[in-house]
Amino acid sequence: MAELSLRYGANPHQNDASISSDGPLPFEVASGSPGYINFLDALNSWQLVRELAEATGLPAATSFKHVSPAGAAVGLPLSAEEREVFRVAAGDLTPLASAYARARGADRMSAFGDWIAVSERLDLATALLIRPEVSDGITAPGADTDALEVLRGKQGGSYKVVLVDPSYRPPSLERREVFGLTLQQRRNDTPIDDSHLSEVPTRATEIGEAARRDLLLAMIVLKYTQSNSVAIAHGGQTLGIGCGQQSRIHCVQLAVEKATAWALRFHPRVRGVHFRRGVKRHDRDTWVMQFVGGVRRTDDGWLRGLVEEMPAPLDQQERAACLSRVGGAAMASDGFFPHRDSIDLAAGMGVRYVAQPGGSIRDEGVVAGCDQHGVAMAMTGLRLFHH
């Protein structure tokens, strides 16, 4: 048996922490000293990006916080506006770097202090994007020498890099010990693919290639997100993830709020704000999210203190114009919708494609809600709870 001792468990007072395997450990710690929570993020995030890359044929990246993704994306090119909003410096981007920029840019405020995972060998372009960000570590199936050297110089040499064996496949049965008792189940190894989008009971039945990609992305994200969970995706990246809520409508509300804030960040008045010298990247992200209403605002004095000149608030017409950017978004749910209220809320911000397991006694009402809003909904028959 191979075992690696860890400094402590979930909290500093929980000692005797370790990670072990009956065979060789399927990873190498190439930098830093990952802890218990780091490995929970590292192993879950790696599974997400590996599966997302296999499903789409594109490089994938994710930004994880507390065993759930803050964002995930595939490696599509970035527009000039996206580079500006996602705080990507000038320079050539590889597809993997674009995937990372999109994943981090999905929810930059939540990504503060994240764990990153990428589906391909880490390259220099991606490492250079990671270097200025506040992040705990990264999982990758290898790293170029120059990329590894960049990250080994981060955080005074303590930045954590876990290089995972991409050929490793875990046993089909997984076990967890809780309260001294062992729970066992088959791993959730059902592949998520286009076949899960074949049953469409709504009047709108057309789900184009881009929408199918986004629905698959959202479903794979939910497979590794703490339940209950809902994800909204568009353009090959998540826009908002609502997770860990007891009520599904609250998951949808969180996802919609984050997706709305994502769109409002593109308004020219938000992009054009001039921050005072010395304002850190995360404070800039926090300012933007408070200004567009993505989080509860502090007093205006704090907001005004970070910028040279406070812009005028966005009015309803300007906010609506920004939301046109995410028209045709896709939303997936890890469990069925018990009421149509989730559809009404999501459709109001531009969701036009939905994937959910189905199986509620109120499925007929949910379908009627989709028909009213012109939403195409696939009943996947696949619940994706993750605990």
**CA–CA separation, 150 vs 166, rounded Å?**
22
Known active-site residue 250: no
- To which H or E segment does residue 322 belong? helix 316-323
Selected catalytic residue, list 38, 44, 65, 160: 65
Residue 12 DSSP one-character state: T
CA-to-CA dists, residue 103 to 43, 64, 150, 319, angstroms = 17, 10, 20, 23
Selected catalytic residue, list 38, 196, 223, 228: 228
Of 99, 93, 102, which Cα lies nearest the Cα of 125? Answer: 93
Cα angle vertex 309, ends 306, 313, to 5°? Answer: 95
CA-to-CA dists, residue 37 to 7, 34, 60, 114, angstroms = 11, 8, 22, 11
Cα angle vertex 133, ends 128, 137, to 5°? Answer: 85
Known active-site residue 11: no
Residue 4 DSSP one-character state: E
**Type of residue at 36:** Y
Selected catalytic residue, list 66, 250, 339, 373: 66
**Type of residue at 214:** D
Residue ranges in 90-135 assigned as alpha helix (H): 95-106, 124-130
Q: How many CB atoms within 10 Å of residue 149? A: 13
**Burial annotation 255-287 (CB, 10 A radius, 16+ → b, else e):** bbbbbbbbbbbbbeebeebeeeeeeeeeebbbb
Of 165, 136, 159, 156, which Cα lies nearest the Cα of 147? Answer: 159
Bond preceding residue 11 cis, omega within 30 of 0: no
Where in the sequence numbering do the catalytic residues fall? 65-66, 228, 387
